[in-house]
Structures are given as structure tokens and as C-alpha cells.
Amino acid sequence: MSEAQKWHALQGVEALRVLESDKDQGLTTEVAQGRLETYGYNELKERPPISFWQRLWEQLTGFIVLILIVAAIISAALGDWIEAIVIMAIVVLNAAVGIIQESKAEEALAALKKMAAPEAHVLRDGHRIVVPSRELVPGDIVLLEAGNVVPADLRLLESMNLKIEEASLTGESLPVNKHAEETLSEEASLGDRRNSAYMSTLISYGRGTGLVVATGMQTEIGNIAEMLQSFEEEQTPLQRKLDQLGKMLGIASLIICGLVFLVGLVRDPSFSVLLTDGLAAYFAVAKDTIVELFMIAVGLAIAAVPEGLAAIVTVCLALGMREMVNRHALIRRLPAVETLGSATVICSDKTGTLTQNEMTVVRAWAAGREYEITGKGYEPKGNFLSDKVEVNVEDHPVLAQTLWAGLLCNDAVLEKDERVVGGYRMVGDPTEGSLVVAAAKAGYWTDRFTQLFPRVSEIPFDSDRKRMTTIHDVQKAAEVHPDLYPTNEAYYAAVVKGAPDLVLDQCAMMRTEAGLVPLTPAQREEIMGANAAMASQALRVLAVAYRPLASVPEEPTPEDVERDLVFVGLLGMIDPARQEVVPAVRKARGAGLRTIMVTGDYAATAEAIGREIGILRPEGRVISGQTLEEMSDEQLQEEISSIDVFARVAPNHKVRIVEALRARDHVVAMTGDGVNDAPALKRADIGVAMGITGTDVSKQAADMVLTDDNYVSIVSAIEQGRIIYSNIRKFVYFLISCNMAEIAIIFIATLLGWPSPLTVIQLLWLNLLSDGAPALALGLEKGDPDIMERAPRPPKEPVINRDMIAGVVVQTVAITAAVLLAYWRGMTAFAAQAGSDPTRTAETMAFVTLVLSELLRAYTARSERLPLLKLGVFSNKWMQYAVGFSIVLLLVVVYVPFLQPIFNTIPLNLEEWTLILPLILIPSLAAEMQKVLSRK
């Protein structure tokens, strides 16, 4: 294949020849494998990943690290080598942990991206299969339908009303009509190449088949790929707020540090030397004071900034997203994790989301007679009964024609597959699949019928029209079955199937056993009665009709084809509710979440299902799309709280429903699967697409994709969202109160004229290691057991709300008091003892009290509301590991001799331990008491 091949200037057959492919068979698996090795994966190269050095650079240029490096340099310059080395070692360790955390989080996100990768329907070895789009190779035959993203560059071989939106490539926002048959001049510009389709453009209408001519970076979009980055790396609102908080604390601490430093200098007696003898003399006498004050200032800066916060948030979000994937919810945009936690309404489709989407036709109505159809699943075995008596379909020509029509106006394929239960597998829309199965039960199979009635054109299904039409050449059939096609002058027939009321509106005649008769109002009523009877049993009902045509319009439109129809019959299919949905709806309600069913199906069907699964409350209303249309926006907002089911809706109604709910301050999750659902998904706070049955277009518009199409997964994602948010709150609270207490300790000690009880190295050690581990464990909490028994959090509430501020204040006071008391006891109790060093003892006691009280407090921080004893003290194993790790670290720095000078510690004896043990309990007790009080 030459590089500059102008595929649009070739005929389809020529292109097939050049690429050695076959339109009906596709490539063989073997050839495809070989080509994959030659051409590589069909993917666009992403921006090169951030390198190790870049990450290191980012870590080392952080605000706090820079301060530390300066501190280390000064220590070294003053000859305090040990301190300099320890500070640098902690900096390096911190950078290493940061880099590992970051790349782990990124790996997790990349893995999620991969899972969201699109798939393509291709012909291989003569079979239609689904492969990941990245495995496409030149020569593959790809099947396209509305809602797909074009997976590679294609020379079209077939097009049925195909319209493609190419804005991403040409900037043209209106969909372009495609015609496979055309051959164009070599010079045709990209926007004019109507016989080709290009990677990453969107199919907005119709169907087609295309030959892959270019993949990956060889595609047109590949040529401009450097300009594109499909996945935006977004920060969540919470991350942004915490970033801001971190900066604010940084600046505030800098100011306080500066103040402490200056005040210290001025208050020192040597300051007068500066005024009298000048700078040089001053430095000579005040060198030690300056260094000491500088170190205190550095200590304050370190104490103020919650170093681990940002990294732990990222890790927590990434792990939370992974947990959501385990529960079948794939998050496409990080901020959705947080929004999920504050959702108040779930608007859910019915078919497939609340029901199993395993349709089986169980009823039919034709020529005034009702039939029952037996059998289960996709196995084409079952009987037809009328009045409980088995009948032969051949003796009931209108029933037969009803089944034929359902089989012809159909894109689903029933394939024999020994590996599945029942021996058959369905490819395509389950609604259509059920019609194929019903027809097969009477001995009518797709193969024979597509030969007998070749399809020459079609108007695809869309959820606004709620019907679908195929146009067939009926000449051959008329020869074989003259009784069924007595229309001498018509060579074609349009077969229509769709929502009964809408199809019936377009009918003028009706088939009876006696032949064609004009449709009277009484007959219309009878048909709608039969429809209502089936719908009230929760059946989805489709009507079938046809129209003889003398010729096939060049571009058939619904307006000129779907009218003057001949009504044939009704088919009623059962789609059982998912059993697990019932408890999930109840759980959602308990969590203050409303569920609203928004379905394209008939009101009576929706109502029956709604009652069965508990979405429709006794006092709740069912509103149809038509009624909705007659309501003003204000009226809808007024009444929406009483409406549980919207039936017969079109996709644009979904947008109105979202807007009405949002106007009432709801946070809305809305599901959707079709091309036309994209606007509603974008407008919703959380757009939810279906992973199995959803179109690519809806997935691209969504914030979250359900990998099992199940309503239950929405509820568990919301639960997970709440858990993640509350966990983030827990460690934010934990870390910030630790930092505040550290500042207060140093600050008050300085004011009291005491030497600083905590050294720079201790503070670093505490913030980066000892506090970091339990904070991470808080991020891994399983969530309060009653998390789904509470109302959703108000979406506008800041993370650091009043409760948290109160908690931080109480903790700051409690920890500061405990630590300063320990210090004071240490100074006074052992001052008189011979051979003791009261300052070192006091400093060690203060340090140990601080570390242990925080570790103990981490346990109470595991729930903001529930008492620890109720939560179960040991129910988070990570906490045991984290606290165990930190205690070992503490014992090491207190008892290992060579570390003692570095950490400014001495080994404590039993007497000293008994003095501090009660103090250690103060902060935790204060926290537990606060929980009790705030619950009252």
C-alpha cells in the first residue's frame, strides 16, 4: 500500500483489491494478526508520559522543600553536619514517596482510561465480532451505526442514510451525508470526501460498512494528533480547594515565621549591638541567636504546612475510583467522584437499567385475536396458543405476517452458539432479537427472509420517532406467496415497526383474515385496548405495519414513507425487572435519594414496572412526554417532586427534566444510551452512560459509564462517592488539627520564653512519616455503616465546614495542652534529680506525648459522628498497620542510642511514662466527647 494512496478516488471494489480484503468475509484472523504486527496498534500517540526527572524536579521545587534545602545548607555552613544530612535525607525520602504515590495514582488512572477504550464491530472470518478499536488493521471491514465513533479511516463500501458529524476534523458542525457509491477526484478536499469516513468523527444517523484504509498515526486525525488531547486532566473542586488551602497556610506561616524571627531578634539583648556598633559586630555576637531563631522559624513553617495532604487526596481518589470499577462504575472525569457523593436524584432509564433487557415475545395480537407464545430466552423453541389451544401459524396468515414484519424490520442476528445456555446467542438490540426468536419459533428464519425480501433501503430507529422502517423488494416474495402480496402494481414494501400509538396514527388500513379493510375508529379503539391490556402486564408492545410502494425514494424520509400504512399486528414482549433493583431503590430512598424513571416506553408498561420495583410511590404520578410538552418550565419545577415516572419521553425531554430538577437545587444523575441523549448527559451533574448497550457518543458525553448497565451500580457508586468524600474529610481534619497544634505548641512556648519543645527534625519526621501513615489509613476507611442512612451533603458546603472548624479548634487546644503539660511536668518533676537533664527529658516527653496522642486520635478520627466503640476499634486493618509502623518508628528514635542525639531524645523510664500516659488520652477523649455533644 503506497503512502499517498487516494482512497476516495478509488472505487470500493478497487480499494478492497488493493488491501486484499473481502466485503462479506472480512480478513481472516491470521491475516489481521500479521497486519497488526506490521502496522501497529490503531491508536494515537499520547503526549509522552512525565519523566522521572520531571517528577523529581517538581518534587524538589516545592515550597516547603526549598525552605528545607536552605535550612540544610545553613546547618551545614554552621558545621552541624548531622542535622544537614538528616534534613536532606528526609527531603529525599519525601520526594521518593511523592514520586511513587504520584506514579501509582497515574497508573491507576491510565488503567481506567484503557477500560473506557472504544470497541468496533468488524467482520473477521465471515463473522461479525466485536474487537477493541485499537486492534483494527488496514483491510478490516467495519460495521457502522448511529452513535458510533468512526474507529479508523475508512473507504465506505455501503451507506444507508449515513450522516457523520466531522467537526473534530473539518470544523463543520452540521452532519455530512455520506454516499459509498461515489468515486471522487483525487483533489477532493477532506470535507468533500463523501465516500470516506474518518477516525474519531461521530455517526449521527444511519448505517454503513467501511473498509479500513488507515489506522493510528497514519489517519487524518493522526496527522494533527499532537494538537489533541482527548482526556483532560482535571482537578476536582476539592483538590483545587485544598491546594488553595495549602497555599494560604503556606503564606500565613511564612508571615508568622517572619514575625517570630524578627520579634526574637529585637527582644534579644545583643540587638543593641547592631544599633551601636554596626552589622559586622552584631553578627559576631548574635550568630548563635540568629541561627537558633532561624531554625525555630523553619520549624514553624514545617509545622504549618500539611505536606502529605495533596498526595493523600490523589491516592485516595485513585483508589476510590478503582473500588468503583469493582462495583461496575467507571469514572471518566475525576470531579464526578465528589459530585456523586452529593447526588440527590437518580433519573434512570427503564430498559436494561431497571430491567434485564432480556426480551421475550410472549403475546401477539393480529386480526382481532390474541395469541400467547411459549418458550424462554433466545432459544427458538415454543408454541403459539390461542384461547389456550395450540395453533399452527400457517393457518393464521395475519399472525404470520406480523411475525414476518418483525423479522424483516430488524438488524439483530440470532447465531447458533453451543457455548451458551439454550444454544443461541443474540447480536444486536434485544428488542429486535426477541422478534427474531418469535419468528423462528414459527419456522421463519432471517436467512431465508432476507433472500425472499431483499432490503433495499431503510430509515433507522430513533428514539424521537420511536419507530423504524425498512424497504424491501417484494417481487420474489409475491411469486412465492401471491396470497400475501396481492398488490400487483407494487414492487416494494416499506415495513414499519414501533410504538403502537405512533404507528397506528399513521395507518389508514388494516389487515384482517378477510383481507384489507379501512381502519375504523372502533378498530383503532380495539387495537389500543389490546395494547393497553398487554402494557398493564408490564409488557413492552410494538406494532407492525407496512405500505406497498411503487418505487424506492432516493433518500427516504419518515414524512413520505411512514404514512398511509396498513396495520398488521401487535407483539408484546416481557422484560423482567432486575430483582436486585428493588432493595437498591429502597436503599437509595433511605439515603435521601429520589429515583425517577425516565423511559421511552408506554405509560402503562412503565407504571406496571415502576410499581413492581418500588420507584412509583403510592402517591407518585406518571406523566407522559406529551403532558410534559404541555407544561411550562415553571409548572414542571412546581410539580416535579410528585412525579415518579416519565413515560414516552423523547431525549429532549430529558434535558428539561434535568433542568427542572437543577432549578430546585437537586444534584442530578441522569442515565442515557442513545446518540440523542448526549445533551441530557452533559447537562446533568452526573451523566451516566451504559457500557454494554450505550453508544460511543453517549459514553463520550458521560461522567460515568456503568460496565453492567445496572441501576444498582449507580447506587453503589453514589455510596462509594460518599465514602471517598467523607474519608477525605477525615484526614483533612486529622492533618490540619495536627499542624495547627504544632504551630500553637511552638508559638506558645516561644511566648512563654521556653526553648522550643520540638526540633525541626522532629517536626519533619512527624509530618512526613508518623502522621502520614494514619492519614493514609483514614483514606482507606470502609465508610460509616450508616453512610446510606443519611441525607446527601449540601453540595455547596465547604469541606472545612463549621463542624470541622469546631473540631480543629478543640483538637488544637487539647493537643497543645497535653504536650505543653508534658513538657512542664518534665521540667519540674525531675529538675531536682541528680544526673538528669531536665530539658532533654521534658523535650522527649513532649515529643512522645505529641506522637502518641496523635496516633490514638487517628482512631477517633475514623468517624466524624459515630463513637469509636460503636464503629469497632479494630475494624480498619490499615490503621493497625499504620499505627504499628509509627509506634515502632517512635520507639526506635527514643531508644536506639545513635539516633538519640539526632532526634534530641533520651530513653524514658517507667516513671516518666506514667506521667505522660494520662496526657496522651486527652485529645482522643476530647474528640469522643465532642461527638457525643454534637449529636445531642
Residues that bind ligand ATP (CB under 6 A): 349-351, 429, 431-432, 461, 463, 466-468, 497-499, 540, 542, 599-601
Of 205, 11, 26, nearest to 131 by C-alpha is 26
Single-letter amino acid, residue 72:
A
**Cβ–Cβ < 8 Å for 642, 619:** yes
Closer Cβ to ligand ATP, 403 or 735, answer by number: 403
**Cβ–Cβ < 8 Å for 182, 155:** no
Q: How far is the CB of 348 from ligand ATP (least distance, A)?
A: 8
Closer Cβ to ligand ATP, 627 or 836, answer by number: 627
**Cβ–Cβ < 8 Å for 245, 808:** no
Cα(456)–Cα(160) distance, integer angstroms = 9
**Cβ–Cβ < 8 Å for 721, 341:** yes
Residue nearest to ligand ATP (CB): 600
Q: How far is the CB of 623 from ligand ATP (least distance, A)?
A: 14
Cα(688)–Cα(717) distance, integer angstroms = 11
Cα(612)–Cα(597) distance, integer angstroms = 12
What pairs with residue 472 in β-bridges? 455, 493
Single-letter amino acid, residue 678:
A
Nearest 5°: the CA angle 14, 17, 18 is 90
Q: Could you give the dihedral angle defined by the CA atoms of residues 296, 297, 300 and 301, in that order, rounded to the nearest 10 degrees?
A: -140
Of 259, 261, 299, nearest to 767 by C-alpha is 299
Residue 812 CB contacts under 8 Å (≥ 6 apart), including other chains = 737, 740, 741, 744
**Cβ–Cβ < 8 Å for 76, 84:** yes
Q: How far is the CB of 119 from ligand ATP (least distance, A)?
A: 20
Of 45, 46, 58, 66, nearest to 103 by C-alpha is 58
Closer Cβ to ligand ATP, 193 or 207, answer by number: 207
Nearest 5°: the CA angle 243, 248, 250 is 95
Exactly one of 24, 125, 277, 349 is catalytic; name it. Answer: 349
What pairs with residue 390 in β-bridges? 385
Cα(520)–Cα(719) distance, integer angstroms = 54
Q: Is 37 exposed, middle or buried (0-12, 13-18, 19+ CB in 10 A)?
A: exposed
Cell of 407: 423479522
Closer Cβ to ligand ATP, 347 or 776, answer by number: 347
> Backbone phi, then psi, for 4, in 5-degree steps?
-95, 25
For the chain, the C-alpha Rg in angstroms (whole number) is 36
CA distances from 504 to 431, 484, 528 (A): 19, 21, 9
Distance of CA 621 to the CA centre of its chain: 30
Closer Cβ to ligand ATP, 431 or 695, answer by number: 431
Rounded to the nearest 10 degrees, what angle do helices 521-535 and 603-613 cross at? 20
Query: 839: number of CA atoms within 13 Å, CB side?
Result: 7
State the first-to-last Cα distance of the chain, in angstroms, to the nearest integer: 78
Closer Cβ to ligand ATP, 440 or 598, answer by number: 598
Closer Cβ to ligand ATP, 264 or 600, answer by number: 600
Of 599, 641, 649, nearest to 620 by C-alpha is 641
Cell of 437: 426468536
DSSP track, 140-180 = -EEEEETTPBP-SEEEEEEEEEEEEE-HHHH---SPEE--T
Closer Cβ to ligand ATP, 153 or 429, answer by number: 429
Of 347, 351, 348, 321, nearest to 335 by C-alpha is 321
Closer Cβ to ligand ATP, 169 or 574, answer by number: 574
Closer Cβ to ligand ATP, 21 or 431, answer by number: 431
**Cβ–Cβ < 8 Å for 841, 912:** yes
Closer Cβ to ligand ATP, 432 or 696, answer by number: 432
Runs of H (alpha helix) within 708-771? 711-752, 760-765
Annotation says 349 is catalytic: yes
Secondary structure (H, E, C), 524-544: HHHHHHHHHHHHCCCEEEEEE
Q: How far is the CB of 531 from ligand ATP (least distance, A)?
A: 10
Cα(71)–Cα(65) distance, integer angstroms = 10
Helix (H) or strand (E) holding 624: strand 621-624
Closer Cβ to ligand ATP, 121 or 825, answer by number: 121
Closer Cβ to ligand ATP, 218 or 357, answer by number: 357
Kindly list the catalytic residues. Answer: 349
